[in-house]
Amino acid sequence: MRVFRWHAIDDFLTCRKKFENRWLKNLEPIEAPKALRVGKAVHSVIERSLKERADSSVLTSVLKEHELVEGLEAHQAQECAETALELIASTPIEPLSDKHGLLVERPFQVQLLDSYTTYRGRIDLVANVARKGPYVVDFKTYSMSADTLYMDFKMKRQMWSYVLALSKLGLECVGYAVVLLKKPRSLSTESEHTLFIYNLTKEELSEFEQELLLILSDIRQAIEDNALYKNTSACVQQYGACPYLELCSLGSSGLLQEVQEEEDTSPLIEF
């Protein structure tokens, strides 16, 4: 395996079986879980707001496009999107330069240090925030409270990997900013948000690159040794339930299909 995305690495760290199902067998649910649809709809609203400076009227049409019209998930998407729009409206978010404009939902592709590994991804936003930067900015919808373990082990590494990728492309970011949008638990509650901003030193980034290469080497070794076991008991916690639960517990894959990768037509980030 020579091409990696963060979600593949994240799946490996969460559960090797999940990694195998999604990234080696290329299986995915026929119908995306509603919880994932919420995240996609919220990202779509944020993207249009940043690109087109669209106002909140865009919300209703985006929710319809994602078939989120009524019920708890529709309420969660509406609440999280409104919270994000308010935050965007009240925070100075500026392009890095006139030449690049705001870099919104843009893919990247870089070679890592071993020059054997291609790292690909898609970044929500690269911009100056509150007159400082550049920052990698990410919006996440989330059900549980943002505990330290989640922050340290997963989100931080994902963001650092994006900062690292941009540095390979010639853009030195000062760090990352993550907006966590907590989904309301019921129809009568509202969304909450937390903003994390972290500035990274060059030493931290260089240590992280070594760590990332070790993780990638573990993944290759696990594939070679076929050591792709279930390394979690948290199968029903993330997004309500892991999409591969039925496959793992019953051996049935009736609700899964082979992934059809969509062609990403957005221009790659370049500096």
Q: Does residue 244 belong to the site contacting ligand SF4 (CB under 6 A)?
A: yes
Question: Which of 162, 242, 256 minimizes the C-alpha distance to 200?
Answer: 162
Q: SS3 for 234?
A: coil
> Which one of 17, 43, 66, 157 is in contact with ligand SF4 (CB under 6 A)?
17
Alpha-helical segments (H) within the chain: 6-14, 16-19, 34-52, 58-65, 72-90, 148-150, 156-168, 202-225, 245-250
- Which residue, 194 or 232, is less far from ligand SF4 as judged by CB? 232
Q: Does residue 48 belong to the site contacting ligand SF4 (CB under 6 A)?
A: no
Q: Which tokens is 192 given?
A: 């909450």
Q: Beta-carbon neighbour count of residue 56 at 10 Å?
A: 14
**# residues near ligand SF4 by CB under 6 A:** 11
- Non-local (6+) Cβ contacts of 100 within 8 A are 271
**54-59 contact pairs (CB < 8 A, 24+):** 55/85, 56/82, 56/85, 59/85
Cβ 131 to ligand SF4 shortest distance, Å = 42
- Which residue, 33 or 184, is less far from ligand SF4 as judged by CB? 33
Q: Which tokens is 82 given?
A: 């409104």
**Only segment of 12-20, 40-48, 98-106, 157-165 that touches ligand SF4 (CB under 6 A):** 12-20
Please report where in the chains the tokens 């373990």 appear, as a residue: 149
Cβ 50 to ligand SF4 shortest distance, Å = 33
> Which one of 9, 12, 18, 121 is in contact with ligand SF4 (CB under 6 A)?
18
> Which one of 40, 154, 193, 230 is in contact with ligand SF4 (CB under 6 A)?
230
Please report where in the chains the tokens 């900013």 appear, as a residue: 177
> Which one of 8, 12, 21, 163 is in contact with ligand SF4 (CB under 6 A)?
21
**Only segment of 114-122, 148-156, 201-209, 227-235 that touches ligand SF4 (CB under 6 A):** 227-235
Q: Does residue 222 belong to the site contacting ligand SF4 (CB under 6 A)?
A: no
Cβ 110 to ligand SF4 shortest distance, Å = 29
Q: Does residue 13 belong to the site contacting ligand SF4 (CB under 6 A)?
A: no
How far apart are alpha carbons 211 and 172 in whole angstroms? 19
Q: SS3 for 10?
A: helix
Q: Does residue 228 belong to the site contacting ligand SF4 (CB under 6 A)?
A: no
Q: Does residue 7 belong to the site contacting ligand SF4 (CB under 6 A)?
A: no
> Which one of 58, 215, 248, 255 is in contact with ligand SF4 (CB under 6 A)?
248
Q: Does residue 242 belong to the site contacting ligand SF4 (CB under 6 A)?
A: yes
Cis check for the bond before 29: say yes or no (omega within 30 of 0).
no
How far apart are alpha carbons 96 and 127 in whole angstroms? 6
- Which residue, 84 or 247, is less far from ligand SF4 as judged by CB? 247
* Residues engaged in binding ligand SF4 (CB under 6 A): 15, 17-18, 21, 230, 232, 235, 242, 244-245, 248
